[in-house]
Amino acid sequence: MKALMFGWEFPPQILGGLGTASYGLTKGMAQQTDMEITFVLPKPNGDEDQSFLRLVGANHVPVVYKETSNEYIEQIIGKLTRLDDYLHYRNNIRYDFSRISTNELGCIYFSGRYPDNLVEEISNYEAVASVLAHSLDFDIIHSHDWLTYPAGKFAKQISGKPLVVHVHATDFDRSRGNVNPTVYAIEKAGMDAADHIITVSNLTRQTVIDKYHQPPHKVTTVHNAVEPLEHAETVIKAQRSEKLVTFLGRITMQKGPEYFVEAAHRVLEKTNNVRFVMAGSGDMMHAMIDLVAKRNIADRFHFTGFLKGKQVHQLLADSDVYIMPSVSEPFGISPLEAMQVGTPSIISKQSGCAEILAHAIKTDYWDIDAMADAIYAIVHYPAMYKSLRNEGKAEVDSITWEKAGLKVRKIYDMVLHQ
């Protein structure tokens, strides 16, 4: 089985949960001996793990034919793309993309991020997909998140191969209902064109059915999982007299950071033996700094900025409680990562991971009193902390990407035999 996957993030260069999920799922699927995955990324850095898949950089796929020497091509492309692959792609350009700005090799510049001209980059990525659809051998197309739906749709039109779109989030989640019509149109067109839709939770599945008018039989939930933590024994909780409570994620309205601050204020009205950390960055950071000051808890509150890799795991391990008060969270991998290192988690009932986690405390995102009570109980009652730590770790250790990958494979098989 050969899958052509279109993605936007891949570790170690990640900006959110999409890259983590893409890595985990592809690595889990690669455990199937007959599974071959080609994963397309706008702009790889060259330090990605390619031991279990083939990575293609869209920024090294020509969309405009330009004659130049092989020596010069190799000099420009470097080690990220083989000369033979570049020449093969160039010979399979079928459309006139001269309107797009390209470099001396006919390749498009991609930022590898979420720039202000994101819709333009999505359109350019679609152009690259047309060349790859003519160049590569594959059985099925798999598009991760809305940014890659146009690419998947175009590849399907060219190849006639079935398309599976993977909904990691919708604009209803990101905007608290204030939906961007351009984004919605891209999302819906991708879902309409798909032969099947995978959602990361039943919560997201219902959104796809209700808001994007997709037939229920076309939408299947495959919950996310957590990647086994390498060198887990080196991630050790630092000894300290004070307790540490952590929020980690984008500081945006979807993630409910203001509810974390308000809950912290409630806890600190009862005790001063707790410190609170907000790790991450986002458009609400300055508002949260102002709110912390307004609540007069700045001496107990810390902002770390964006963290990644070992920094994330160490902070989660150091924490006594992890909180995810998301207003609308399609899944939410971070609580699983926290529980993996033995940190009890409090999650909103409005999150997809609440559907599969039995040993996390669940509150409504807006119920700051319930959240504060849960924090206070965990940090003050050792028996409760120990139970959540031990049972939670055992639970998440059984939630694997290999199992998720087998579910995706069943969907592939079903679609191919329709």
DSSP 205-235: HHHHHHHS---GGGEEE-----PPPTTGGG-
Tokens 């089985």 — which residue?
A: 1
| Length of the chain (residues) | 418
Query: From the CA atom positions of the chain, what is the Rg in Å?
Result: 23
Nearest to 353 by CA among 367, 366, 337: 337
- Residue 171: CB atoms within 10 A of its CB come to 19
Alpha carbon 36 to its chain's center: 22
What percent of the residues of the chain are helix, what percent strand, and what percent coil, each to the nearest 5?
Answer: 45, 15, 40
Q: How far apart are CA 119 and CA 122, in angstroms?
A: 5
* CB of 237 closer than 8 Å to CB of 262: no
* pLDDT confidence of residue 232: 63
* pLDDT confidence of residue 17: 83
Distances 58 to 109, 122, 159, 379, 407 between C-alpha atoms, Å: 9, 11, 18, 48, 28
Q: Which amino acid is at 404?
A: A
Three-state DSSP state, 252: coil
DSSP 288-327: HHHHHHHTT-GGGEEEEE---THHHHHHHHH-SEEEE--S
* 12: preceding bond cis by omega (within 30 degrees): yes
* pLDDT confidence of residue 231: 66
Which domains are seen in the chain, by residue range?
2-225+401-416 (3.40.50.2000), 232-396 (3.40.50.2000)
Q: How far apart are CA 43 and CA 109, in angstroms?
A: 8
* pLDDT confidence of residue 291: 98
Tokens 């299947």 — which residue?
A: 220
Ranges in the chain, pLDDT < 70: 231-233
Structure tokens belonging to residue 180 = 């961007």
* pLDDT confidence of residue 1: 96
Three-state DSSP state, 415: helix
Q: How far apart are CA 394 and CA 317, in angstroms?
A: 16
Q: How far apart are CA 101 and CA 15, in angstroms?
A: 26
* pLDDT confidence of residue 239: 80
* pLDDT confidence of residue 233: 64
